[in-house]
Amino acid sequence: MASRPLRIGTRGSPMALRQTAIVRDRLTAAQPELAKTGAVEIVTIRTTGDRVQNRLLAEIGGKGLFAKEIEEALLAGRIDLAVHSLKDLETWLPDGLMIACVPPRDDPRDAFVSRGLSLASVPRGAKVGTASLRRQAQLLRHRRDLSIVPIRGNVNTRLRKMEAGEADALVLALCGLQRLDLSGKATEILPREVMLPAVGQGALAIECRSADEAVRQLLEPLHDPISAACVAAERAMLAALDGSCRTPIAGFAEADGDRLMIEGLLLNEDGSKEIRGRLEGGLGDAAQLGAELGKELRSGAGPDFGLG
């Protein structure tokens, strides 16, 4: 690899570029040879999820469309690694690819963004913008009077749409606002009891070819085993549920010493029904715990929950 730059693939949105810059800076700090001019190249790739902005992701194939073309570039050898928001990755990766590194996780909670009012105090019938079925279902679970309006686009686009009157409020990932130095826009940080996060929210995933031992070694200093165990539990829960992209699913795991707790939530689309579960066990059994919780949630779900 010394004869050419280390090529990092990413989407071209401000958020994706910021996340990739964070990874690049940590890599160059950990690997001095990568700090030389020209040693690292950032390759922006436009994905299907970026191109199709006039339809909900659930209608066109789900969040995996933010990774499809990037993973194709990895498999074709056009890039050496890719930086993703972990929640955008499919539960099952393409053959030959792996999540080689999960850096320390940022705040996984969601933020309520409005013109100064909290979720509890916005007027009846207020328009809340989100394209997420998970957020929609949980919002309606707590405030059935709200009007949910589908809003897509990057963070700044959504904020502009709110200011233009398309919505009275938004629900956005707090970590995204923080990474873009926009945390001051948050009116309220929603507790997990109100808005359980998406699987993997707050975490980055660095993906590479499974057989590329050199890249895997470069990434080792950036890897956080605790964060990796937590998201592994969440993704195992999601895999066991095997929900469609039209199934509102939330999940969050956290570690306390050598113990891990995972909470999962399954809702129907309008939030009128929910199944919530929680398991605790050893940190080393993270994936097994997640899978057990997913099976438990699935066993209690009827046809209203959209599971196959």
Main-chain phi, psi angles of 38, to 5 degrees: 85, 0
8 Å CB contact between 305 and 272: no
Catalytic residue (choose from 50, 80, 88, 212):
88
217: left (phi over 0), alpha (psi -120 to 50) or beta: alpha
User: How many Cβ atoms from other residues are within 10 Å of residue 262's Cβ?
Assistant: 24
In angstroms, how far is CA 194 from the centroid of its own chain?
18
Q: What are phi and psi of 60, to 5 degrees?
A: -115, 5
For the record, the structure tokens of 253 come out as: 């795991």
Q: Output the six-digit token pair for 60.
A: 């066109």
Q: At what angle do helices 225-241 and 286-299 cross, to 10 degrees?
A: 30
β-strands 81-85, 204-209: how paired? antiparallel
3-state DSSP percent of the chain in helix, strand and coil, to 5: 40, 25, 40
Q: Work out the end-to-end distance of the chain between its first and last CA atoms, rounded to an integer number of angstroms.
A: 45
Is 95 in the active site? no
CB 233 within 8 A of CB 287: yes
* Residue 301, phi then psi, degrees to nearest 5: -90, 135
Please name which of 289, 265, 291 lies closest in space to residue 277, comparing C-alpha atoms. 265
Closest CA to 20 of 183, 181, 205: 205
Q: At 265, list the tokens.
A: 């939530």
List residues bridging with 110 in a β-sheet.
173
> Which residues form the catalytic set?
88
